[in-house]
């Protein structure tokens, strides 16, 4: 009989200890142990980055500089239209633009047939040649209407090279 009582006491003590343990196991009582490095504020792949701070200027040059009223200032072309720049621009044009705007820039690339509602612009037309380099640069950066944007595919320098290249395209006779 004594043995039975002693056993009951041991089991009671063990049960209380186990119950107390379960309170922590199932987070009834939660302790924030700092045990995992991955539990911290961080950005995952493909998660939107933080917006740039107001009035900051990209290190690669002013792609988006705003005036006091919040309008985008059209940037000046900082890249001289020399042989290197035009040769680089031609390469990027072949890869990124030719399929829509065509090898001569007249807007008759092989993909143009599939663009039913809005055809690619003729890059040798006054619509384009009358625009400042900076306006074309902003079109490449941000897109325009049905024209896709290239801010992710072409660096700032690459976009200026493409602008310098499309200046060399001659209208068909
Ligand atoms: C998927 C096809 C496509 C590709 C690729 C493409 N464009 Fe365009 N682009 C268009 C279309 C369509 C328009 C007409 C947009 C509109 O009027 O809505 C256009 C318009 C333009 C314009 C005139 C914008 C204006 O002021 O109206 C320029 C300049 C231009 N593209 C340059 C380029 C350059 C340079 C590239 C390569 C870096 C390029 N495009 C790649 C389809 C394309």
For 64-93, the DSSP string reads S-B-TTSPBPPPP--S---HHHHHHHHHHH
Is this model's pTM higher than 0.75 or not? no
Atom of ligand 1 nearest to the CA of 97: 37
Query: Are the C-beta atoms of residues 147 and 125 closer than 8 Å to each other?
Result: no
Q: How far is CA 38 from CA 41, 48, 72, in A?
A: 8, 18, 39
Dump pLDDT digits (tens) for 1-16: 888 999 999 999 999 9
> Is the pLDDT confidence value at 32 over 80?
no
User: What domains can you pick out in the chain, each with its CATH number?
Assistant: 52-173 (1.10.760.10)
Ligand 1 contact, 150 CB (< 6 A): yes
Mean pLDDT of 21-42: 78
CA distance 49 to 142: 18
- Cα of 147 to ligand 1 centre, how many Å? 4
Atom of ligand 1 nearest to the CA of 153: 38
Which pLDDT belongs to residue 48? 67
User: Nearest-CA neighbor of 92 among 168, 157, 169, 142?
Assistant: 157
> Is the pLDDT confidence value at 66 over 80?
no
- Cα of 63 to ligand 1 centre, how many Å? 18
More confident residue, 171 or 44: 171
- Cα of 106 to ligand 1 centre, how many Å? 11
The two tokens of residue 5 are 């009582």
The two tokens of residue 91 are 């390469």
Which pLDDT belongs to residue 72? 79
Angle at 142 between CA 140 and CA 143, to 5 degrees: 65
The two tokens of residue 72 are 């985008």
Mean pLDDT value across the chain: 87
Which pLDDT belongs to residue 64? 64
The two tokens of residue 134 are 């900076």
Top mutation candidate among 119, 127, 147 for ligand 1, by most atoms within 8 Å of CB: 147
Atom of ligand 1 nearest to the CA of 159: 38
Mean pLDDT of 72-100: 94
CA distance 99 to 108: 8
Mean pLDDT of 86-112: 95
Ligand 1 contact, 115 CB (< 6 A): yes
Of all protein residues, the one whose alpha carbon is nearest to atom 39 of ligand 1 is 97
């Amino acid at each position: 009989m004594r043995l039975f009582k002693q056993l009951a006491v041991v089991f009671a003590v063990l049960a209380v200890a186990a119950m107390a343990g379960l309170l922590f196991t199932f987070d009834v009582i939660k302790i924030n142990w700092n045990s995992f490095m991955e539990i911290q504020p961080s950005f995952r792949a493909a998660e939107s980055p933080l917006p740039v701070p107001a009035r900051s200027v990209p290190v690669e040059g002013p792609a988006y500089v705003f005036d006091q009223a919040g309008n985008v200032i059209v940037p000046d072309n900082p890249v001289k239209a020399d042989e290197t720049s035009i040769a680089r621009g031609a390469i990027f044009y072949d890869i990124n633009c030719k399929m829509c705007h065509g090898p001569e820039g007249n807007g008759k690339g092989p993909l143009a047939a599939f663009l039913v509602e809005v055809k690619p612009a003729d890059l040798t037309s006054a619509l384009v040649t009358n625009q400042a380099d900076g306006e074309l640069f902003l079109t490449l950066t941000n897109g325009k209407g049905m024209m896709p944007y290239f801010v992710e595919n072409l660096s700032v320098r690459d976009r200026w090279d493409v602008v310098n290249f499309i200046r060399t395209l001659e209208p068909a006779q």
